[in-house]
């Protein structure tokens, strides 16, 4: 059991925690959430004893081991497998002693302890963890120096999972994982035999891998039972009740104060007025919860292009003479929302680079709209910002002739206010840097926006704001992300990058998740039901939804045209004798639009009917 009792801690005189308390029962899986800068990572350092408390106590059972991932493993010549095996220091020490011990009694002790900790199955367990995090059998035998920093962070994570500490502290573990690795980690943590606390903004992980939420807010800790969605709902209800109570109390105070103000000078009412003053003074003031700062993204809207905006026939691409992807037959329209699925190394980034014109087509044919503008955001671009310049300077370099006030407004539209606009990028938080990179990627109002892991460093509120912005955005979206919640809310088409090509994925995300977690489990065939219509494939369903959405959009635009023409026809001056010819022209246009609107409504209703029939099968 982890007990946090009345702890306080300040940084340079600024309090982060003030008399905060919480108890985490042994074996519980807990998500630690709170606004960026609230002190979540600092709390981890306090639990590990790396920082000294101002006051209070943090206690764990004696001899309890605490583990976490502080940094990537070094670029040594030690293999990945041996690096992970060495993370269990007790096993490594005992294995070394078993080779040199000569005392028979000690040899027996060592062998007994090795059996107790399942030392002989350790290599298989370590290999299984590495595989789950994306390393195949061949890669596990390669030296750590053969892998980049992001991959060595995965090795460090594999090491701490293998060591199985009594208290596992993980700070944003999915930031350096792909979707497959993130889903594997969710399942692994849900079955982890000891206590886990995870700092995460990944809603899927906080809903599926934990059973409690530890909320750090206003320098206090509050423990909530249940996954994140339950916490969010209960907290919203609590805030609503507090707000209502505060309003009622204030109304009561105002009513009493009016009596005091009216009769305090009258001798006959003085005692009553004084009594009401005492009533006001004795009230325990209910403070309404502060409204959370609204997280925003404001994407500029592109003009409309004729479909398709990109069409590839028989295409292939790669690097130099090495072909990575082939047999590409792909079409992208401006209203598409496509999620790229596939294990790391299969070619998702390669496809993104091809679509964004960063790679050329080696074979086949690619057709693009002439005026097509493409925005591209990838994780590494956050690290390519000029750290000694302000966000405003970044925009001024791109828009030297634009008024500063307009540039500041654009920054504000991405949640970068007046203070952040003039702050050196090197002093901004990871989330603020990500916002700036997203602004730079969308500043030209692209018709196609390619986003490769856009949610890293963004808190939950910012991720929800990104979902809202992408929903309102009228361009196409290609999305690569380990955030299942984001994919589920945004994407209406799925492409699977696998075996050197790209093809539509006919099932949904939940089916894909289950497939990844149980790759070797055979699919049980469904029982046949006589005369039951076959449910359309996912691709067919997506086509029906797209047809319905396009039908609705046509009706909306024609309604707008009708309204404009009706306003024109309502002008009294149009009916003067001298303008009779002009009136006839406008009447003709109005009749044409009404005719088109009737046809569009019929098509839309037909599409909705087809979709409804397909969804009820």
User: Which pLDDT tens digit goes with each residue over 40-74?
Assistant: 999 999 999 999 999 999 999 888 899 988 777 88
27 and 88 together in one domain: no
Residue 341 placed within a domain:
yes
Residue 298 placed within a domain:
no
355 and 481 together in one domain: yes
Q: How many CB atoms lie within 10 A of CB 602?
A: 11
- CATH number, domain at 22? 3.40.50.300
Which domain-ending residue is among 242, 264, 282? 282
Helical residues (DSSP H) of 359-450, grouped into ranges: 379-382, 391-398, 404-412, 418-421, 430-442
Domain of residue 560, residue span:
538-615
| Counted domains in the chain | 5
Residue 524 placed within a domain:
no
Side-chain half-sphere exposure of 546, counting CA atoms within 13 A: 17
43 and 141 together in one domain: no
161 and 173 together in one domain: no
Residue-level pLDDT at 291:
57
Residue 303 placed within a domain:
no
Distance CA 4, CA 1 (A): 10
137 and 20 together in one domain: no
176 and 87 together in one domain: no
pTM: 0.71
35 and 88 together in one domain: no
199 and 113 together in one domain: no
Residue 141 placed within a domain:
yes
Distance CA 128, CA 124 (A): 6
583 and 436 together in one domain: no
- Residue segments in the chain with a per-residue pLDDT below the cut of 70: 267-271, 284, 286-295, 519-543, 546, 572, 574-578, 615-617
40 and 154 together in one domain: no
User: Distances from the Cα of 270 to the Cαs of 258, 266, 278, 281, 283, in angstroms?
Assistant: 13, 6, 12, 17, 20
Residue 374 placed within a domain:
yes
Using DSSP, state whether 68 is helix, strand or coil: strand
Residue-level pLDDT at 491:
92
Residue 176 placed within a domain:
yes
Bridge partners of 196, per DSSP, are 29, 168
Residue 297 placed within a domain:
no
Residue-level pLDDT at 79:
92
Q: How many CB atoms lie within 10 A of CB 431?
A: 21
353 and 501 together in one domain: yes
Residue-level pLDDT at 536:
64
Residue-level pLDDT at 147:
87
201 and 348 together in one domain: no
């Amino acid at each position: 059991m982890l007990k946090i009792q009345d702890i306080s801690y300040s940084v340079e005189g600024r309090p982060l925690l003030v008399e905060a308390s919480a108890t985490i029962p042994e074996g519980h899986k807990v998500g630690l959430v709170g606004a960026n800068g609230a002190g979540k990572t600092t709390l981890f350092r306090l639990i590990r004893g790396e920082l000294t408390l101002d006051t209070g106590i943090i206690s764990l059972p004696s001899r309890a081991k605490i583990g976490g991932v502080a940094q990537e493993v070094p670029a040594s010549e030690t293999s990945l497998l041996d690096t992970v095996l060495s993370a269990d220091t007790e096993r490594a020490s005992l294995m070394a002693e078993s080779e040199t011990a000569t005392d028979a009694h000690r040899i027996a002790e060592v062998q007994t302890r090795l059996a107790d900790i399942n030392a002989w199955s350790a290599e298989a367990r370590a290999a299984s963890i590495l595989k789950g995090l994306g390393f195949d059998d061949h890669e596990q035998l390669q030296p750590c120096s053969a892998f980049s920093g992001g991959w060595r962070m995965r090795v460090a994570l594999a090491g701490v999972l293998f060591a199985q500490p009594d208290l596992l502290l993980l700070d944003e573990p999915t930031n350096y994982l792909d979707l497959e690795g993130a889903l594997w980690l969710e399942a692994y943590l849900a079955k982890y035999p000891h206590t886990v606390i995870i700092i995460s903004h990944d809603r899927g992980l906080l809903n599926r891998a934990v059973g409690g939420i530890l909320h750090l807010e206003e320098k206090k800790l509050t423990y909530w039972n249940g996954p994140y969605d339950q916490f969010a709902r209960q907290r919203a209800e609590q805030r609503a009740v507090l707000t209502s109570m505060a309003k009622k109390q204030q109304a009561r105070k105002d009513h009493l104060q009016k009596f005091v103000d009216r009769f305090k000078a009258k001798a006959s009412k003085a005692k009553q007025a004084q009594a009401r003053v005492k009533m006001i003074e004795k009230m325990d003031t209910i403070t309404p919860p502060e409204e959370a700062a609204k997280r925003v993204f404001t994407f500029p809207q592109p003009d409309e292009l004729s479909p398709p905006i990109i069409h590839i026939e028989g295409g292939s691409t790669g690097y130099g003479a090495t072909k990575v992807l082939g047999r590409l037959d792909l079409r992208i329209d401006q209203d598409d929302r496509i999620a790229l699925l596939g294990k790391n190394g299969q070619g998702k980034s390669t496809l993104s680079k091809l679509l964004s014109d960063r790679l050329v087509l080696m074979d086949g044919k690619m057709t693009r709209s002439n005026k097509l503008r493409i925005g591209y955001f990838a994780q590494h671009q956050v690290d390519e910002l000029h750290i000694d310049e302000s966000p405003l300077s970044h925009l001024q370099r791109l828009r030297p002739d634009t008024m500063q006030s307009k540039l500041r407004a654009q920054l504000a539209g991405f949640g970068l206010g007046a203070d952040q606009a003039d702050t050196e990028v090197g002093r901004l938080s990871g989330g603020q840097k990500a916002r700036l990179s997203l602004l730079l990627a969308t500043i030209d109002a692209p018709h196609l926006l390619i986003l490769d892991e856009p949610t890293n460093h963004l808190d939950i509120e910012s991720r929800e704001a990104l979902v809202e912005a992408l929903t309102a955005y009228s361009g196409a979206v290609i999305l690569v992300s380990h955030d299942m919640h984001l994919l589920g809310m945004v994407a209406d088409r799925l492409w699977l990058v696998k075996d050197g090509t790209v093809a539509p994925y006919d099932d949904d995300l939940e089916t894909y998740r289950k497939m990844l977690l149980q790759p070797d489990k055979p699919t049980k065939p469904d029982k046949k039901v006589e005369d039951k219509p076959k449910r359309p494939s996912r691709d067919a369903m997506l086509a029906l939804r797209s047809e319905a959405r396009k039908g609705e959009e046509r009706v909306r635009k024609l309604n707008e045209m009708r309204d404009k023409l009706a306003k024109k026809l309502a002008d009294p001056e149009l009916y003067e004798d001298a303008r009779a010819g002009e009136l006839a022209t406008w009447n003709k246009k109005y009749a044409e639009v009404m005719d088109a609107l009737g046809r569009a409504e019929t098509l839309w209703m037909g599409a909705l009917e087809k979709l409804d029939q397909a969804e009820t099968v």
